[in-house]
């Protein structure tokens, strides 16, 4: 049983997943900081400092703070949009790099074909010269 557990726990996929979770948590902190400290204040300036957290109503002794929920939804939308923009930028950069690599590969293939054609031409010339003797 211990051997099976050891094989399971130390498989590459499990370790990769653990690393991904740790890095994801750290990246989550970076994104949260970006949103809380940079994007949200800038958006607040643009929309006139709107803050939904103060929105609430009372029903008897209970206080329903629906503004906090609205603020969390708003924060989520900002975070989702920021991640979308970063991923879109990375995707475009990757696509550009792949296109450049494809063009370079095509050029190398064309160079190889041209070189082979030159060799064939030279061999044919040599063959004509040898046949005429």
Structure tokens, 119:
């060799």
Instruction: Give me the mean pLDDT over the 56-77 stretch.
Output: 86
Using CB atoms within 10 Å of the CB of residue 89, give its burial: 0 to 12 exposed, 13 to 18 middle, 19+ buried: exposed
Q: In the structure, what pLDDT confidence band is assigned to residue 20 with cuts at 50, 70 and 90?
A: confident
Q: Is residue 128 scored above 70 in pLDDT?
A: yes
- Are 55 and 66 in contact by the 8 Å Cβ rule? The answer is yes
Between 47 and 109, name the one with better pLDDT. 109
Domain boundaries, the chain: 1-48
Amino acid 133: pLDDT: 53
Q: Is residue 13 scored above 70 in pLDDT?
A: yes
Q: In the structure, what pLDDT confidence band is assigned to residue 86 with cuts at 50, 70 and 90?
A: confident
Between 73 and 13, name the one with better pLDDT. 73
Between 72 and 11, name the one with better pLDDT. 72
Q: Tell whether domain 1-48 is in CATH 3.30.70.100.
A: no
Q: pLDDT averaged over the chain?
A: 81
Amino acid 131: pLDDT: 66
Helix, strand, coil: what percent of the chain each, to 5? 85, 5, 10
Q: Is residue 72 scored above 60 in pLDDT?
A: yes
Top-confidence range, 56-60, 96-100, 113-117, 129-133: 56-60
Q: Is residue 85 scored above 60 in pLDDT?
A: yes
């Amino acid at each position: 049983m211990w051997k099976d557990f050891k094989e399971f726990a130390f498989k590459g996929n499990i370790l990769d997943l653990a690393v991904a979770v740790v890095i994801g948590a750290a990246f989550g902190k970076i994104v949260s900081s970006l949103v809380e400290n940079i994007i949200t204040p800038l958006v607040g300036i643009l929309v006139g400092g709107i803050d939904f957290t103060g929105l609430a109503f009372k029903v008897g002794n209970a206080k329903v703070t629906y503004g906090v929920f609205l603020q969390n939804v708003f924060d989520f939308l900002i975070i989702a949009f920021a991640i979308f923009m970063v991923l879109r930028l990375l995707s475009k950069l990757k696509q550009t790099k792949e296109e450049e690599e494809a063009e370079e590969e095509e050029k190398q293939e064309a160079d190889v074909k041209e070189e082979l054609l030159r060799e064939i031409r030279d061999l044919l010339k040599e063959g004509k010269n040898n046949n005429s003797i």
